[in-house]
């Protein structure tokens, strides 16, 4: 009973985090190409919500979003410019502070729902604030939610493949089973925000909660179509969060937050391995 309650609480918390970007089609941002400081452009508040959801912009009085006045919300001020610059720096884009098309292209790419955390990170792995980690090397996991047999089979395969990849490079052993303690991993499938946009999210150690968006067109094939998202890549990424890694700015890293349709990123890069060694030491 207590376990169910904690799951419900953590899911509610995640929903609150995701709330600001729900219901928005990222495609609708296209008309903002070229926006820059000093302008007021309808829809800029969506960029503010987006940058806030992923850790680049603090929403308060001075950033305008608490003000009901629509023109203030859509004002391109210096806070927004700074946030865009750190976003651009993170993803190795030209640091212009403008909403150029390459910046908006990245923003419209499907991604993980976890915040990018540290906007000053060097171009590699990141750890969560306070560097939370597990005090044990044997983790059991359970799949909580009931969806179709087909989706559950895909998820089981994706998780198993992802756990094996991390196991190769760490001392962690992952086993599917019934929960035996409050620190076991609980994995759910639910509707997060519809197709694309946010694909999945997880909570830092030692919570162990992970969610997948039931509305995605998931694939576990070695060669997914462009309209499909590779569930194995996403599972491997989310397991990285579960054991304590944040987002990497290295595009080859499993812990890079964006994943386009048809793309596979299943193997740990040296950057991912450096990150997990930094947290747990070499095996
Ligand atoms: Zn992530």
| Sequential pLDDT tens for the chain (283 residues) | 344 444 333 433 333 333 333 334 455 678 899 999 999 999 898 899 899 889 898 876 555 566 566 666 899 999 999 999 999 998 999 999 999 999 999 999 999 999 886 545 555 888 998 999 999 999 999 987 677 889 899 999 999 999 999 999 999 999 988 755 555 788 988 888 888 889 999 999 988 899 999 999 999 999 999 999 999 999 999 999 999 999 998 999 999 999 999 999 999 999 999 999 999 998 8
19's tokens:
């709330």
Cα–ligand 1 centroid distance for 89 (angstroms): 18
**Cα gap 156→141, rounded to integer Å:** 11
Domain interval for residue 205: 138-280
Q: 256: domain CATH number?
A: 3.40.390.10
Instruction: Give the Cα-Cα-Cα angle 56, 58, 60 (nearest 5 degrees).
Output: 155
Q: Are residues 158 and 220 in the same domain?
A: yes
Annotated binding-site residue? 78: no
Task: Count up the domains in the chain and report the number.
Answer: 2
Cα–ligand 1 centroid distance for 33 (angstroms): 26
Q: Are residues 194 and 146 in the same domain?
A: yes
Rounded to 5 degrees, φ, ψ at 229 are -105, 130
Residue with tokens 């349709």: 261
Is 245 part of any domain? yes
Q: Are residues 211 and 266 in the same domain?
A: yes
**Cα gap 269→77, rounded to integer Å:** 38
Is 166 part of any domain? yes
pTM: 0.79
Catalytic residue from among 46, 75, 165, 238: 238
Q: 85: domain CATH number?
A: 1.10.101.10
Contact by Cβ (8 Å): 237, 201: no
109's tokens:
């790419």
Is 193 part of any domain? yes
Annotated binding-site residue? 227: no
- Known catalytic residue at 165: no
DSSP per residue, 16-43: HHHGGGTT--GGGGGGGTTB-TT-B-TT
Is 276 part of any domain? yes
Annotated binding-site residue? 112: yes
Q: Are residues 48 and 178 in the same domain?
A: no
Is 262 part of any domain? yes
Contact by Cβ (8 Å): 203, 237: no
Cα–ligand 1 centroid distance for 23 (angstroms): 20
Annotated binding-site residue? 162: no
Is 124 part of any domain? no
Cα–ligand 1 centroid distance for 241 (angstroms): 6
Q: Are residues 170 and 215 in the same domain?
A: yes
Is 185 part of any domain? yes
Strands 209-213, 185-190: pairing kind: parallel
Q: Are residues 263 and 151 in the same domain?
A: yes
Q: Are residues 177 and 90 in the same domain?
A: no
């Amino acid at each position: 009973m207590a376990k169910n309650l904690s799951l419900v609480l953590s899911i509610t918390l995640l929903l609150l985090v995701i709330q600001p970007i729900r219901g928005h089609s990222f495609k609708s941002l296209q008309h903002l190409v070229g926006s820059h400081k000093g302008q007021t452009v309808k829809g800029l508040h969506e960029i503010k919500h987006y940058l806030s959801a992923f850790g680049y912009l603090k929403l308060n009085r001075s950033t305008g979003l608490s003000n009901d006045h629509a023109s203030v919300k859509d004002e391109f001020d210096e806070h927004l410019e700074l946030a865009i610059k750190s976003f651009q720096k993170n993803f190795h884009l030209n640091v212009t502070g403008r909403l150029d098309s390459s910046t908006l292209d990245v923003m419209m790419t499907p991604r993980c729902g976890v915040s990018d955390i540290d906007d000053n990170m060097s171009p590699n792995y990141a750890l969560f604030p306070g560097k939370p980690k597990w005090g044990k090397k044997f983790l059991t996991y359970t799949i909580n939610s009931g969806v179709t047999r087909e989706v559950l089979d895909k998820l089981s395969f994706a998780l198993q493949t992802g756990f094996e990849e991390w196991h190769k490079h760490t001392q962690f052993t992952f086993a599917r089973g019934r929960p035996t303690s409050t620190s076991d991993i609980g994995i759910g499938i639910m509707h997060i925000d519809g197709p694309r946009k946010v694909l999945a999210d997880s909570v830092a150690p030692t919570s162990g909660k992970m969610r997948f968006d039931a509305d995605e067109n998931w694939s576990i094939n070695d060669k997914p179509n462009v309209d499909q998202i590779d569930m194995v890549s996403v599972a491997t990424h989310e397991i990285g969060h579960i054991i304590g890694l944040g987002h990497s700015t290295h595009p080859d890293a499993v812990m890079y937050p964006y994943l386009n349709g048809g793309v596979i990123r299943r193997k740990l890069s040296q950057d991912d391995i450096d990150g997990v060694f930094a947290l747990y030491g070499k095996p």
